[in-house]
Amino acid sequence: MLLNLNTTQKALLWLFIQVVILPHTIARQCYWRNGASTLGEQQPCFPDKENSPCCATNKQNGDPNDVCTSNGLCVAQVEPYTGLVLQNGCTDSSWNSSDCLSICPDSMKPDYGIHILPCPDKSLKHWCCSLSGSDCCDSAFELDMGTLMLSSNSTNSNSSASASATVTATVTAGTSNESPTCNGDCHAASTTVAVGAGVGAGLGACLVATLCLLIFQRRMYRKKVQEMKALQASAFPYVQQYGPFVPKNPVEMPLNQRPTVFEIDSERPVRPE
């Protein structure tokens, strides 16, 4: 059939492939902020767009997939990071596309996800970017977190296909046994749906879980920082107990100690009476 096309038609077909088909094919590859390629588990949250933010929605090891938010952030579901919000990759390696969520400073260009931490002391709309998960609320900014985008593969990539899927959102404070825990089962159709207020009791449970995420996620990070400090202290017990080694200054000999005297032309020491 292609052989019957004239030169103009072949040129138009080639242009169509270059402009329409190839960009969507290339867009399946995601890139970190520094331009490095991500693993295959990172996939576009909005595959129909030319460029899109990416989340780990294609895990092959049986771990639960991340959940995309409507603004392109990622909510982790794998333990022990359940409920943590991250900014992962984008399909534009230069990150110049307006479809890439650029909320963190240009100086932050790691080859891994950036923590997006809540700052409830300022407001429920204030968040900050952190490479290590440590406190960054001095540089907080306002951000609309959007809604969770649930799909049939939100649980894990190896689950059997079905008409509907169940996604459990669990957020635990991680401080004491009395810390509140939010559990909600959200049923979504096989196509991606946005969780919104008033959609139903099942989806409303996810909104409750999201609210708990905003309130308690901060405590999870603080606990991790405390555990890291405790680990560092246990690795250097002597420094912790005795402090750093400091050489002592020279001191004078006691006055009651009699010095040793050598006689002239004699190798035998003689102590004075």
User: Which range of residues forms the domain containing residue 82?
Assistant: 2-228
User: What pLDDT does 18 receive?
Assistant: 55
Whether 42 contacts 58, CB under 8 Å: yes
pTM of full prediction above 0.85: no
| Residue entry with tokens 């990071």 | 81
Residue 70 belongs to some domain of the structure: yes
Residue 57 within a domain? yes
User: What's residue 247's pLDDT?
Assistant: 42
Q: Write the pLDDT tens digit of every residue in 95-104.
A: 999 999 889 9
Q: What is the pLDDT of residues 62-96, one digit of tens each?
A: 899 999 999 999 999 988 888 999 999 999 999 99
Contacts of 176 (CB under 8 A, 6+ apart): none
Scored b (16 or more CB within 10 A) or e, 210-231 reads: bebbbebbbebbbebeeeeeee
Classify residue 251: in a domain, yes or no. Answer: no
In angstroms, rounded to a whole number, what is the distance separating the alpha carbons of residues 140 and 123? 10
Give domain status of residue 129, yes or no.
yes
Is 65 inside a domain boundary? yes
| Residue 264: inside a domain | no
Residue 36 has pLDDT above 80, yes or no: yes
Number of domains forming the structure of the chain: 1
**pLDDT tens-digit map of 187-246:** 333 333 333 333 344 545 555 666 566 556 666 666 655 555 454 444 334 333 333 333
